[in-house]
Amino acid sequence: EEANELREQLSKLKVSDDIRERIEKEIARYSRMPQMMPESTILRNYLDWVLALPWDKESEDRLDINEAAKILNQDHYGLEKIKERILEFLAVRKLSGSQGGSILCLVGPPGVGKTSLATSIAKAMNRKFVRASLGGVRDEAEIRGHRRTYVGALPGRMIQGMKNAGTKNPVFLLDEIDKLASDYKGDPSSALLELLDPEQNKTFSDHFIELPFDFSEVFWITTANVAGNIPGPLLDRMEIIELGSYSDEEKLMIGKNHLLPKQMEKHGLKKSQLKATDDAIREIINCYTRESGVRNLERCFAQICRKADLILIGEEPPKKIQVTGSNVEEYLGVRKYLPERLPG
């Protein structure tokens, strides 16, 4: 019965004749195997993985450039160069129907929005989003999977990501690619070379699946803090896009339009209950954070929201809390940095 169920699942898949034949052989082997054999469980697990992969499922790209630009502008302030690059990619896709075969590498200091930008790109393109963090990964099997003969063997993160996405053309983010490590267990960066090569990734073979899977429809995005730490052969395959530090004015706009509303919603505050003036936000930027990105700025807003919550559930709560440049210290404590003044 189980074998018939598996055959029915296989009949619904659109795969090449060669792959279909190999899966049918494994199903036939499984049907002849006694259920009590340990290998029977291993083979069943393998067949479940193979049949769950999105061999033929694709999500339809949103090729409306204006709509994509609108989504990118809603989610991120500034970053014009990267937005332009995404729109170029969509334009190529629309006119030629091909992927363009490029891998984007977003390089910049922590907190400038590399990971959230990748999420927005997936949203703008109407694709599924998958993220794999590579920080500290030192075992090649994390990328290529384990052979089926090992106890508790699993496919690598790439095949797992594709199964989770449920489509063969997601936006796949490889986070912290500059923090890949290598040791006696192998070099994971070498395993990534095949995946990130547009000429080779049509037939990527995972050690567990042992069938060629097509990764050529995936839109790859990688992130790194320092491009110099990425292994040379990998760097050669990627298109580097630098995300610099934000200026104070950019931080002000990001804080006012994105971070503060997000934290207020998180802390149950309405617009009518809390207001931070531009002077207050500038004071926080200059005297409490001093960073390339906006991570600490968001933490400061969270602290202000917590204090506001405490005031609003007090005995005599005010109708509205106003945070200004002169009373920021009441919410965040003593300034951490003094404003720089030019001598003379």
Does the pTM exceed 0.85? no
pLDDT at site 108: 86
Confidence band for 305, pLDDT divided at 50, 70 and 90: very high
As given in the structure block, the two tokens for residue 36 are: 């009590």
Cα–Cα distances in angstroms (integers) from residue 235 to residues 95, 107, 280, in the given order:
28, 11, 42
pLDDT confidence of 339, banded at 50, 70, 90? low
Residue 291's pLDDT band, with cuts at 50, 70 and 90, is confident
Please give the Cα distance from 131 to 143 (Å, whole number): 13
Angle between helices 80-96 and 65-75 (to 10 degrees): 160
Q: Which residues is 222 bridged to in the sheet?
A: 105, 174
d(CA 89, CA 192): 23
Residue 299, pLDDT > 70, answer: yes
Tokens of 197: 């090569």
Whether the per-residue pLDDT at 178 is higher than 60: the answer is: yes
